[in-house]
Amino acid sequence: MNPENTRLSWVTSANGHPDFPLQNLPHGIFSPAGETPRGGVAIGDYIFDVGAACRAGLFNDTAQYAAEQAAGSTLNAFFALDATERRALREALLALLDESSPHRERMQALGDSLLCPMAACHLHLPAKVGDYTDFYVGIHHATNVGKLFRPDNPLLPNYKYVPIGYHGRASTIDVSGAPVIRPKGQTLPPGQAEPTFGPSKRLDYELELGIWIGQGNARGEAISIGNARKHIAGLCLLNDWSARDIQAWEYQPLGPFLSKSFATTVSPWVVTAEALEPFRCAQPARPTGDPKPLPYLLDPTDQETGALNVELEVLLRTTAMREHNLPAQRVALSSTLNMYWTLAQLVTHHTVNGCSLQPGDLFGSGTLSGEHPDSYGSLLETTVGGKQPLMLPNGETRTFLEDGDEVILRARCHREGYASIGFGECSGIIQPAH
């Protein structure tokens, strides 16, 4: 066993922590009450203030430079670093926070100025999002949704050749905990010839992975599949809230618009590509008869190690549950192994036409449903388009989300012989339409 997998931290709450042990060290933007937002690293129940560590002279050389980029009010400058520079900071943080760190007493003496209790801090959107693209790589979700609209032909022919995606609205991306206001729009009620206007009645969640882009590319110069992994700074959870009734009326011929652009929620912590390395695995084999990806999307190393094994969970807590102090109930358990395309393939395909990516751009994976109803990542699938209500343990039912409902996404990586790491929560409560 690699000694790093059993390392402990002098920040004792990190040891055995379900999300943030020493082996994780995700980056984010935080602010204690009344203070300005700045960069930090999650360790157990605390946030390590990267800027304070810089001022205390705890870093050297490349790590110092990388820490300065990670200490600002957004992580864009940190994302823009070369992967070797980001790794240098990670190695320095591992050494500083290790239980045998020679700087332990000095850091403990700095107290809350270096380690801030997470519960006393506000968490912010990690980066300024210049552009947002939502993909559709969950093949079971694509098949399930396709069956609702095209029972005899659920997957269109291009799906297995092209990583399908669309450009979303970057201005309405918000961090976990921000309220989600029920959108208004046009819908076409069943049996009517003309649309009506009002609040969505079929509001839904989507369980997705968020991909933060690191270094970008020059316009006109595609990122090759062999180099694509270097351009991914880290991952988060992403809920692409969807108004299904608005979507059904507007999506042809150009796809989603107002049904998606009203809100997207991401988790506040960016789990770095380096922390996820132990959980890489082979891309699941395509079913017999499926076409091979075209050469620009096919790389042997990416096929052997380009997938990630991350457990994904959806929980729901209604107003009645909160009033009776009942916990959130799990409604789905899925995995990133349900991705038909790898993360590297998404980056390469996005740039193959010469499109330029920028540090802080965000990708959504698309809904990552599994094969069975208890692994479906949206209510549209779980309730078969609203025909089969979801039964909750307290006797309530749901076809789609009601005002006051809280949706919580979680993600964890497990592997025998390795410390498990988590993403933290991605949550939002539905507020009535304005």
- Determine what percent of the chain is predicted with pLDDT higher than 70: 99
What average pLDDT does the structure give for the chain?
96
Asked if residue 423 has pLDDT above 70, the reply is: yes
> Which member of 17, 141, 231, 350 is catalytic?
141
Distance CA 218, CA 199 (A): 42
At 295 the pLDDT is 98
Pick the CATH number of 3-123 from 3.30.70.2970, 2.70.98.40, 2.30.30.230, 3.20.20.80: 2.30.30.230
Identify which has the larger pLDDT, 148 or 344: 344
What does the pLDDT look like over 2-51, one tens digit per residue?
A: 556 789 999 999 999 999 999 999 999 999 999 999 999 999 999 999 99
Fold of 132-431: Fumarylacetoacetate hydrolase; domain 2 (3.90.850)
pLDDT tier, 1 (very low <50, low <70, confident <90, very high otherwise): very low
pLDDT band at 358 (very low <50, low <70, confident <90, very high): very high
> 62-108: per-residue pLDDT in tens?
999 999 999 999 999 999 999 999 999 999 999 999 999 999 999 99
- Joined tokens for residue 63: 């790590």
Of 419, 17, 427, 31, residue with least CA distance to 237: 427
Rg (CA), the chain: 22
**Helix H or strand E encompassing 364:** strand 362-364
Q: What percent of the chain has pLDDT over 90?
A: 94
The predicted-structure confidence for 272-296, as pLDDT tens digits, reads as follows: 999 999 999 999 999 999 999 999 9
Enter the pTM of the model.
0.97
Is 140 part of the annotated catalytic residue set?
no
* Mean pLDDT to the nearest integer, 134-156: 90
Residue 252: per-residue pLDDT: 87
Nearest 5°: CA angle at 134, between 132 and 135? 140
Domain boundaries for CATH 2.30.30.230 within the chain? 3-123
Specify the domain boundaries for CATH 3.90.850.10 within the chain. Answer: 132-431
When pLDDT is averaged across residues 331-357 and rounded to a whole number, the result is 98
